Amino acid sequence: MNPRSSSRLHDVVVAGAGPVGLFLACELALAGVDVLVLERDERPEAPLNSAPLGLRGLSVATSEALDRRGLLDDLLDAVPRPAQAGHFAGIAIDAAKVDPSAWPWRAAGPALTTLASDIATLEAVLAARAFELGVVIRRGLGVTGLDERDDELAVHANDLAFRTRWLVGCDGGRSTVRKLAGFEFAGTEPEFTAYSALVDIADPAVLKPGRHATPRGFIMSQPGRIAIADFDGGAHDREQPVTRAHLQAVLRRVSGTEVRLTTLHQATTFTDRARLATTYRRGRVLLAGDAAHVHSALGGQGLNAGLGDAMNLGWKLAATVRGRAPDDLLDTYEAERRPVGQWLLDWSRAQVAIMRPGPQARAMEGIVRELAATRDGATWFAGQLWGVTLRHDLGGGHPMTGRSAPDLAFDDGRRLASWLREGRGVLVDLAGSQRLRQAAARWGERVRVVGGGVGKALGLAALLVRPDGVVAWASDDDAASTSELEGALTRWFGPAARATR
């Protein structure tokens, strides 16, 4: 049967209404782009998306992104609990030892915090914003096919076909879009299957409490809950539901005890399979989130990276759709975000290396544990886990270029994050330079100019911030060069508007 084709041509179709697809849809709609989200599942509620098993650690980078779109308060209202500093292969990082002065380019603000939110709550906050922005989400329509015609695509879902100029696969680790569009997904095969489960145990004293290594892997046991890493080569078929009998067998094997599970309430599994798309764009199809990178859930980074992808891609794709983008703007998405994906895979592999059964891994784990317990070590790990040391290589000499912008506080009580909520670029003029202001004014509504009153902060005289909060250009010099600023404005926002006579 031929699919029924809609006559409407969308700017962008996003496949998947998970957190990454929803956030990307919000970014596109904020920039005035027509976006349709197609979601396979009929209903947003899934039991594993709720706490406790659906709980996810959100990094400082994610808090900042949400704050820059006015979503952080909504989330904080719903999940008022800061997360711990994080962990590396189960080695807890002590927040009290973290020294924020190691990141002098950060300005303290409400977003300088990590959070824990369950996926259901995060998705509800994002879906509400998407609704406010007029995004249409069609549920029960999983993408099943793709045709490319001239300069548009036909996206098939059930017996329907949707016309669109661009398609973004945010459809998770087993992405159909990735397969349909022929993306290569390269990486390494798993060494373990991990289980996280809510259980009743007949004889809990049989298991050692807390987290410990065994000859088969790792066990973490606390009242009502267990986590297991079974180094089985990733043999468990994740398509199969986890039964009580299966989980008990795994727990017995890994713990070396005859422990008895009386009830299995809920279980989730993952492996350390690590794969990364070799490119994030093929023609008019792009990937973001788990569709572009899969790895173990160790250290909780996948969601943070996916939301970072969405923030980075949204304004660039929107500018491309609207015909305003410099030629290579969209290519910078892959150039900036694929290295983050690569880091993510390696971060998770390094944890596997010290979790393997055997004396070598135990010895290495001991060394990492000692290092992580030092002030410098805790600060280094937190810098990675919280996403605060990330810097894109944008060229340019200033040490702040390519970093997340400091959340400067202005005399009128506003902060930089609040100026970014419109999704435009921002020139922060801290030295009261008429020359810079006049130069930026030629980019019209693409770049807002703010400043005044605050005086120099962090030694900065001026700062050009992209819509995603990344510093595009900065100067400490009160007499900063207008041509340097104009170069950065042209690079990220296209040519200035022509002067009208």
Ligand X SMILES: Cc1cc2nc3c(=O)[nH]c(=O)nc-3n(C[C@H](O)[C@H](O)[C@H](O)COP(=O)(O)OP(=O)(O)OC[C@H]3O[C@@H](n4cnc5c(N)ncnc54)[C@H](O)[C@@H]3O)c2cc1C
Would you say 169 or 357 has its CB closer to ligand X?
A: 169
Residue 217 binds ligand X, judged by CB under 6 A: no
Cβ 142 to ligand X, closest distance in Å?
A: 4
- What would the x/- binding string for ligand X be over residues 106 to 145, using CB under 6 A? ------------------------------------xx--
For ligand X, the binding residue among 90, 172, 234, 383 (CB under 6 A) is 172
For ligand X, the binding residue among 95, 297, 409, 458 (CB under 6 A) is 297
Cβ 97 to ligand X, closest distance in Å?
A: 21
Residue 289 binds ligand X, judged by CB under 6 A: yes
Residue 268 binds ligand X, judged by CB under 6 A: yes
Cβ 286 to ligand X, closest distance in Å?
A: 13
Residue 356 binds ligand X, judged by CB under 6 A: no
- Closest to 303 in 3D by CA, of 178, 473, 122: 122
> Between β-strands 225-230 and 193-201, what pairing exists: parallel, antiparallel or unpaired?
antiparallel
For ligand X, the binding residue among 10, 11, 18, 106 (CB under 6 A) is 18
Would you say 53 or 426 has its CB closer to ligand X?
A: 53
The number of C-alpha atoms within 13 Å of 252 and in the hemisphere containing its C-beta is: 11
Would you say 229 or 303 has its CB closer to ligand X?
A: 303
Residue 39 binds ligand X, judged by CB under 6 A: yes
Residue 306 binds ligand X, judged by CB under 6 A: yes
Backbone angles phi, psi at 480, to 5 degrees: -55, 150
Segment holding 251, helix H or strand E? helix 244-255
Cβ 175 to ligand X, closest distance in Å?
A: 7
Encoded tokens for 156? 């098939």
Please give the distance of CA 89 from its chain centroid, rounded to a whole number.
Answer: 20
For ligand X, the binding residue among 10, 11, 13, 21 (CB under 6 A) is 21
Burial (0-12, 13-18, 19+ Cβ within 10 Å), 438 = exposed
Residue 383 binds ligand X, judged by CB under 6 A: no
Encoded tokens for 240? 């199969």
Query: CA-to-CA distance for 299 and 302, rounded, in angstroms?
Result: 9
For ligand X, the binding residue among 171, 336, 407, 429 (CB under 6 A) is 171
Q: Which stretch binds ligand X (CB under 6 A): 296-304, 322-330, 331-339, 444-452?
A: 296-304
Residue 443 binds ligand X, judged by CB under 6 A: no
The number of C-alpha atoms within 13 Å of 359 and in the hemisphere containing its C-beta is: 0
Q: Which stretch binds ligand X (CB under 6 A): 17-25, 247-255, 257-265, 432-440?
A: 17-25
Task: Count other C-beta atoms under 10 Å from residue 453's C-beta.
Answer: 9
Burial (0-12, 13-18, 19+ Cβ within 10 Å), 26 = buried
- Closest to 349 in 3D by CA, of 271, 272, 235, 289: 272
Q: Which stretch binds ligand X (CB under 6 A): 9-17, 26-34, 146-154, 199-207?
A: 9-17
Angle formed at CA 273 by CA 268 and CA 274, multiple of 5 degrees = 125
Which regions of 90-240 does DSSP assign to beta strands (E)?
91-92, 115-118, 136-139, 143-149, 152-157, 160-169, 185-188, 193-201, 210-214, 217-222, 225-230
Q: Which stretch binds ligand X (CB under 6 A): 89-97, 299-307, 379-387, 405-413?
A: 299-307
- 305 near 291, Cβ under 8 Å? no
For ligand X, the binding residue among 29, 34, 36, 57 (CB under 6 A) is 57
Chain residues binding ligand X by CB under 6 A are 15-21, 38-41, 56-57, 142-143, 170-172, 176, 196, 268, 270, 289-290, 297, 300-304, 306
